[in-house]
Chain A
Amino acid sequence: MNEQSTHILLIEDNPGDADLVRLRLVESKSAVDVSCVDCLSDGLASLAQQQPSVILLDLNLPDSQGAETFRKVRDKAPDVPVVILSGQDDEGLAMKALHQGVQDYLVKGSITSGALNRAVRYAIERQALLRSLEMSRKQQLEFKNQFLSHVSHELRTPLTCIHQFVTILLDGLAGEVSAEQRDHLQTILKSVNQLGAMVRDLLEASRVESGKVRIEPRCVAIGDLIRLAVAMMQATAREKQVGLEVGLDNRIPFVQADPDRILEVLINLIDNGVKFTPPGGAVTVQACLVPTDPDFVYISVTDTGCGITPEARPLIFERLYQDPNAVDNNRKGLGLGLFIAKELVGLHGGRIWFASEPGDGSTFSFTLPLYSLAKLLFPVITRQGCLRDAIVLLKVDLRPRSKPARGNWKDTCQHCLEILQRCVYLDKDLVLPPMATPGPEQTFLVVASTNMDRVQIMMTRIREQLEKIPDLKANGELALSAAAVTLPDPADPLEKQVQDIAHRVTEMARFALGVKQNSK
């Protein structure tokens, strides 16, 4: 930045203080031009027009006080350095602001022209330095991710080759295989699969770290997901002679989660549990509700293994961490499983933690947000404190024409969902998070604030748009239907009315999905 063009925005409501600052700037004889405003809103307006080299900011203004003032300025102009002008009595506040990204502060009344000049110049320099550090950090991260992506791709080719030829031998495509040879081949296959899992974890960890993982939340029956994970891990547990059990509350409500990602979390936790549990022990997966935290489902994986040493505890969710004291004959992984699990749970808005005593097993727990239809519906089906006049539940059924579905059916359904979302009004219609279904049939439900006459127009529009998708046209069938939702007593409080609607919609949805499952 050229010193000739140092442009200062002074946001100060006290005219005396403002004049003094100007005077000191003139005295310092450095080439600056100053624009001065006396309230935050004018300051923000000025920032929207032009970004100064530095902002001199009084935190206590007529329209904003304290740390809030700085936050608003930073949101508007994150790259512009800020120097705070603080009164003698609020130096503590100024110190606190330094931790939030303010470059410097000056105490009004004791500002000299030299100090002011120095503060302005240093603030500009430091901000520029910070920015270039941040840039190079980002570049490094990007480079690391590209590198990992490249390496895992290159590793995959020889891995595939080994996998292919081992399975060719095992399947007898190259002649008879003796029992002993089969044993050895199975060992090779197992190692190759482990290697493949590591390559996958490596890529997944770097993707999670760089924020490239997309979560597609759905309405998920977490009990089914747990049973699936347990079924997938049963062979591994049996081989190690570790029991693997499920304990579920009878009425676990649906959660809002991406089933693929949560399956990954469950498998990671179960795999760990089995790995650190000696033969004869057991791993138990449970899900329950906790009365003190009613918005979440608690899921836990408990093992009877060696437990976690006190030294390992603070590090266990770190990338690449492996407990050096966990003596285990089994091969270790890369130490990425818990890191990935933590990140994925975090992306869902849940928490993950553990409880453990050395020698007495461990319990890893995480939470997932409950699927709350009322919460989702509230902004859509109410207006100005009242329920809307008419509400309709619209149903879009997709089924593949052949079994197994041709093409990539899952993607076709996802594509339909995206199109569907574009066909509705965001402020008064809601596409419900899709149910994770076991079969290929997919049903999307829309709660629409409209009546049965007008919903026909909406259905025509949706049909027209969905029929434009070539994959759906080629491989699937489309059916649309609608039913009015009975409105509750308008005398009830609004919250109660919305809950009633949510309850009715849930019943209707359950019926819609149930009928489909029975007709299979």
Chain B
Amino acid sequence: MGNQKILIVDDDPDLRQALRLRLRANRYDTVNAVDGYSAIALAYKEHPDLIILDLGLPAGDGFVVLDRLQRDDKLSTIPVIVLTARDPQSSEQRALEAGAAAFFQKPADNTELLDVIRATLPKGNAVGTALPS
């Protein structure tokens, strides 16, 4: 059984790379999308086990992506964790109501984020293990 696959959606290349390094170290495979449109396209093509989604995105912001995912039978089962620089007071409730499984404000605590990823991922072939700190 292969590693679980996580789709990272963020328009900032450095943040994408940082997250990719972090997730790889925890034995997750990653795919990247830079905007809302390619996020949906990649979700179809790659069928990831989980999506980490920024809210401020070009070509369809995070809420548009959440809405599209929710309305698609094939995609609505993929859990989404929102990771954004936006203020939780204005966005958290809205993101959760739109179907996100969890909300993190950047910069997120890595341990906490990985815990929630592990708890949110569909069980079965869970392989993500924390590195000894």
Contact surface of A with B, Cβ cutoff 8 Å = 149, 152-154, 156-157, 159-161, 163-165, 167-168, 171, 173-174, 192, 196, 203, 207, 212, 402, 404-408, 411, 471
Contacts and interface: CB of A to CB of B under 8 A. Distances in A.
A160 B101 contact: no
Given A160-B106, A404-B115, A407-B101, A153 B85 contact: yes
Interface residues of B, number: 28
A203 B25 contact: no
Contacts of A406: 101, 119-120
A405 B118 CA distance: 11
Contact of A157 (B15, B110, B131): B15
B interface: dominant SS: helix
A404 B116 contact: yes
A408 B14 CA distance: 27
Given A161-B12, A167-B110, 17 more contacts: A157-B12, A157-B15, A157-B85, A157-B106, A164-B22, A168-B18, A171-B131, A173-B22, A173-B25, A174-B21, A196-B107, A203-B87, A207-B89, A406-B120, A408-B92, A408-B96, A411-B93
Contact of B18 (A161, A404, A407): A161
B125 interface: no
Nearest to B133: A171
Contacts of A192: 107
Interface string B1-25: 0000000000010110011011001
Contacts of B120: 406-407
Contacts of B21: 168, 173-174
Contacts of B68: none
Interface in B114-133: 115-116, 119-120, 131, 133
Contact of A404 (B89, B96, B119, B133): B119
A154 to B, nearest CB: 8
A154 B93 CA distance: 21
A404 B18 CA distance: 25
Contact of B107 (A156, A207, A212): A156
Interface string B81-106: 00001110100110010000111011
B18 A408 contact: no
B25 A153 contact: no
Contacts of A405: 119
B15 A161 contact: yes
A156 B106 contact: yes
8 closest A-B pairs by beta carbon, nearest first, are A164-B18, A160-B106, A156-B85, A160-B107, A163-B107, A173-B25, A161-B14, A407-B101
